[in-house]
Structure 1
């Protein structure tokens, strides 16, 4: 396995092979019968057109050859930050086929985050769009190249400016016999952690473990050749990529429908046009869809399953989904690190509305522990620990983090506080780690606090979550000013953080100015005290 990655113990890997969890499948493949069907099998649908399996297979082969022609080889890392387009899917398959490792950046990431990903992965290329609303990614590339070494290629979808157009990465495919074989148990891609303290950690996923996740989740969710999956969320997220998501649907021979935005005005016409049968959302989007269906004239009758995950969905909203949308609700509680939990399509309403499901695989090993490490009883709150055939054994190049996040026998300590019922269903009740779950986007408090302290008007700062019925949690910056007569304003702090290149979802929603921040007995800021002092969160101010 790649240097810097933590392998599964050989004995346990042998068990996973014997049980059929791990096979020789590689992620770059497509079903042979779908490719052979020519014009009869549609792989991708967008607002602008469609692409057959045969066309997708050929485009991926040509781009793979184009990457090799530019000197990219198996084991190189490439930071990928593209919107939900057919080009993104082609890039993914091409990278998998060459053994070049995609590092999936999120759409909101800017120079700070991209630089971190490039440095950590030692990426040789950055694949990005030309512009998205509020960001020229070519300028992000310029900044990152100026501050790092080794980023030899910037490949741009659209107007490349001073860089290379992604459309030019094209060459005649090489014969399969001339290509170096890939190891199914080697790393195939890097996903990102939620970033509980500081920038996100890189999560290595192998061909063997991720193809198992795709197979198992597609089977559980009933996704097959007749399925049409709407990718409403960014495909760089594990949820939309592989739960079963885009990759899982394609491996089953189904059709993927790519939405440029998750809003009802964009998605509802696509549901009708393409006959979408399944889609995935984060909780803040669900009320928008439920409200919009009242006035929309789009026909949503094809929709059979709506997955909701990324944060806990409140029971009242969960109860509205099936009556309003006419489909089955499936709650999903998972993590890019591996473990996935699903409510089943035949679960009773009390399970679907009040829990986040139970583990995907019989190979998932689970512990729920009290603060002292002893086992928690059913119904008792405790931290969730897990290991299994698709859960990582260590973050990439993060030995210190691995010492605190993994037990001696390889269980991943998730930092999530859960309760478990006798049937094995989890209800997520909180977190140990200091990270704020803002509508499914994980905001690392420590990272934002460190940036806030760069403002000369800020003496000390703490970022805390406050409950919100729509977003789940909003972020509140509690600030002790250097000069009580000249405190900072929320807008100025947001602008400062934005100028430093911080992602928009990390900008504080609310600001509280306090004469001093309460401290614990050991001199740390007492965030529990801060939360008790503040009123429930107000709606976030509009961000320019």
Structure 2
């Protein structure tokens, strides 16, 4: 790129890296001055005939050259629809080759994808549309019995900026995905984005209130993916299976789809994470690497006792999203692959990995150490003072791939960052003498269900909107399969509801499927602390928690 080529500025509401830190990251070589879509451009030039992406139930797939060509067609089609460089577009496709085509089509059109998950519903989508000022939405027609087109109709009524709905499948009155894929590609005259501006917006786990939007710049996210691929020893001969939702940071760039693309590996998209379907996909495609949450890892390990086909080709199984119990880690290593890697990270940035050459004691008992030498970590007490070495405290972080502020969220940013720009993770950890972290708990009131983080306060607000509920507390209880299940402890104002009625109410309010209670307990009153707050720790113990 010529030095004087004009670049598109970042959107209003984006908090950039401070100039001094940005300069240091460039000087250290972490930032390469490239945009995220160059991953595909470079891969198509280096490995045009190699399979880039394939669906688990297919024997075909798209080569890197074919993926690049389809992305160009989609980019041209998006431009003809009126989606302009810098526009935000909600991307909510399930795992599959169209997801990869849409992602890179948006990047090549200069748009900024908002990485929604398939389980998000109208409550979350409406929030994302409002915060991002999205002009477009890309969805399937339906999946798992849910009609995304009906949701889109409601969103259009309430968000006039949302002008374009693109549907993979039966489009109804909306734009068919096939129309974009069949458009003629044309030379792009879009000015390149500044690599230090957002490439995409990830969705936070919703640890406090409604999920927030996380701006990941071209520079930081490219480093995130390529450095992760290096730490995992990912190579061109590897086959990566994405069975977690592909729009999630873990299967997208840790190293995920993007890391695989950086080294010319193949990504297999799986829509069904059950052992039966996943084991068949691993055998069919010779999968060598995949990523799971602890509940799935434990289930897969147990399933080796009854499934007729078990994984034989796996060399690396990443487990993250919550802490993996040491006993489960040993079970995974004994049944699925000795190549277990614990991953502790966040969509906001910081990633910690155990390394492939770590001894079993480290792999089974810690959540790894930082990806980058210039990840700056502080472990502090409730007053913000550093704790003694080895003691528990809240983890604060800044570094070359950790955000400096949520998108258009000034109030949240004032709370979530300290005066030196360190992000307050809300995670309680202790750091061992060898530098590896052990995750011990959370500061924030959240429930980690099946790898998804649910803000208790937001769920409680939705529940309290029902006239039959006087007060409610949502708590996480241990579950052997989900990690934590959601328990709603409810004081009813009149005739009690059952769990199905409660979740039907949440469905009407458009609450994400993964954020609905698994268990309902009717109570005469909620326990309180001496100062009158709901005693959630005591409540959880009473209901069977630790």
Q: TM-score range by the shorter chain?
A: over 0.9
- Equivalent pair of 2:498/2:520 in contact (CA under 8 Å): yes
Asked if residue 219 in structure 1 is aligned to residue 230 in structure 2, the reply is yes
Cα distance in 2 between the residues matched to 1:151 and 1:31: 28
Q: Which residue of 1 aligns with 2:220?
A: 209
1:173 aligned residue: 185
Distance 1:18 1:254 in 2: 29
In 2, Cα distance between equivalents of 1:130 and 1:235: 18
Partner of 1:507 in structure 2? 516
The secondary structure found in structure 2 opposite 1:109 is coil
Are the aligned partners of 1:479 and 1:514 in contact in 2 as well (CA < 8 Å)? yes
Confirm or deny that 1:287 pairs with 2:298.
yes
CA contact (8 A) 1:37 1:54 kept: no
Match of 2:136 among 104, 122, 125: 125
Q: Where do 1:238-249 residues align within 5 Å?
A: 238-249=249-260
TM-fit CA distance, 1:523: 3.3
Q: CA deviation at 1:81?
A: 0.5
| C-alpha distance in 2 between matches for 1:396 and 1:39 | 36
**Paired residues for 1:333-412 under 5 Å:** 333-412=344-423
Task: Write the distance in 2 (CA, Å) between the matches of 1:34 and 1:445.
Answer: 43
CA spacing shift, 1:530–1:313, aligned 2, 3 Å: same
Displacement of 1:37 in angstroms is: 6.8
The residue that corresponds to 1:317 in the other structure is 328
Question: Within 5 Å, which residues of 2 pair with 1:42-57?
Answer: 42-46=51-55, 47-48=57-58, 49-57=60-68
Worse-matched range after superposition: 437-446 or 285-294: 285-294
The residue aligned with 1:329 is: 340
Query: CA separation of 1:419/1:26 partners in 2, compared to 1, >3 Å: closer, same or farther?
Result: same
2:206 counterpart of 1:195 = yes
Residues in 2 aligned to 1:28 and 1:9: alpha-carbon distance in whole angstroms? 24
Residue 172 of structure 1: how far off its partner (Å): 2.6
How many angstroms apart in 1 are the aligned matches of 2:396 and 2:451? 20
Are the structure 2 counterparts of residues 512 and 93 from structure 1 closer, same or farther at C-alpha, using a change threshold of 3 Å?
same
1:45–1:274 CA contact under 8 A, matched in 2: no
1:16–1:389: 8 Å Cα contact kept in structure 2? yes
Partner residue in 2 for 1:542: none
Of 502, 510, 514, 1:493 maps to 502
Deviates more, 1:486-495 or 1:431-440: 486-495
Asked whether the 8 Å contact 2:47–2:264 carries over to 1, the reply is: no
Say whether the 8 Å CA contact 2:378–2:386 is kept in structure 1: yes
Name the SS of the counterpart of 2:294 in structure 1. coil
What is the TM-score normalised by the length of structure 2? 0.95
Aligned residues: 534
Give me the whole-angstrom Cα distance separating, in 1, the residues matched to 2:479 and 2:388. Answer: 30
Please report how far the alpha carbon of residue 275 of structure 1 lies from its aligned counterpart in structure 2 after TM superposition: 1.2
Query: 2:18 aligned with 1:9, yes or no?
Result: yes
Deviation string, structure 1 residues 169-215 (Cα, Å, up to 9, x no partner): 14333325x33122111111000111112210000000000001111
Aligned 8 A contact 1:29 1:93 in 2: no
CA distance in 2, matches of 1:130, 1:205: 28
| Range with greater deviation from structure 2 (282-291 or 513-522) | 513-522
Q: Partners in 2 of 1:181 and 1:479 — Cα distance? A: 53
Per the TM alignment, residue 417 of structure 1 is displaced from its structure 2 partner at its CA by: 0.5
Find out whether 1:134 has 2:145 as its counterpart.
yes
Match of 1:540 in 2: none
Partner of 1:18: 27
Task: Give the deviation of 1:96 after TM superposition.
Answer: 1.3
Question: Which of 508, 526, 543 matches 1:517?
Answer: 526
RMSD over aligned Cα atoms: 1.6
Gaps of 5+ in 1: 538-544
Instruction: Check 1:196–1:38 CA distance in 2 against 1; reply closer, same or farther (3 A cut).
Output: closer
Secondary structure in 2 matching 1:462:
strand
Quick one: distance in 2 between partners of 1:440 and 1:466? 14
Partner of 1:164: 175
Q: Is the 8 A contact 1:29 1:251 kept in 2?
A: no
SS at match of 1:366: strand
Moved more, 166-175 or 117-126: 166-175
| Contact 2:299/2:481 (8 A) holds in 1 | no
- Once the two structures are TM-superposed, the CA of residue 293 in structure 1 deviates from its matched residue by 2.2
User: Could you list the per-position Cα deviations for residues 390-422 of structure 1 after superposition, in whole angstroms to 9, with x for gaps in the alignment?
Assistant: 000000111111111001110000000111101
Measure how far apart 1:518 and its partner are.
2.4
Q: Following TM superposition, by how much is the alpha carbon of 1:297 offset from its aligned partner in structure 2, in angstroms?
A: 3.6
**2:487 match:** 476
Aligned-residue offset at 1:63: 0.7
Report which stretch shifted further, 328-337 or 444-453.
Answer: 444-453
Residue in 1 aligned with 2:194?
Answer: 183
| Alpha-carbon distance in structure 1 between the residues aligned to 2:115 and 2:363 | 30
Q: How many Å apart are 1:517 and its aligned residue?
A: 1.5
Structure 2 CA distance for partners of 1:506 and 1:4, relative to 1, 3 Å: same
Q: How many Å apart are 1:511 and its aligned residue?
A: 1.5
Q: CA distance change for structure 1 residues 524 and 92 in 2, over 3 Å: closer, same or farther?
A: same
Shift of 1:39: 6.9
1:92-121 deviations in Å (ceiling 9; x for gaps): 111111220110111111111111111110
1:38, CA displacement in angstroms? 7.3
**Matches of 1:256 and 1:144 in 2, distance apart?**
32
For residues 48-105 of structure 1, give each alpha carbon's deviation from its aligned partner in whole angstroms, at most 9, with x where no partner exists: 2211111111001111111111111111000011011101101111111122011011
Unaligned 5+ residue runs, structure 2?
A: 1-9
- State which drifts further: 72-81 or 289-298: 289-298
Q: Distance in 2 between matches of 1:299 and 1:528?
A: 40
Q: Which residue of 2 aligns with 1:541?
A: none
Is 1:61 the counterpart of 2:66 in the alignment?
no
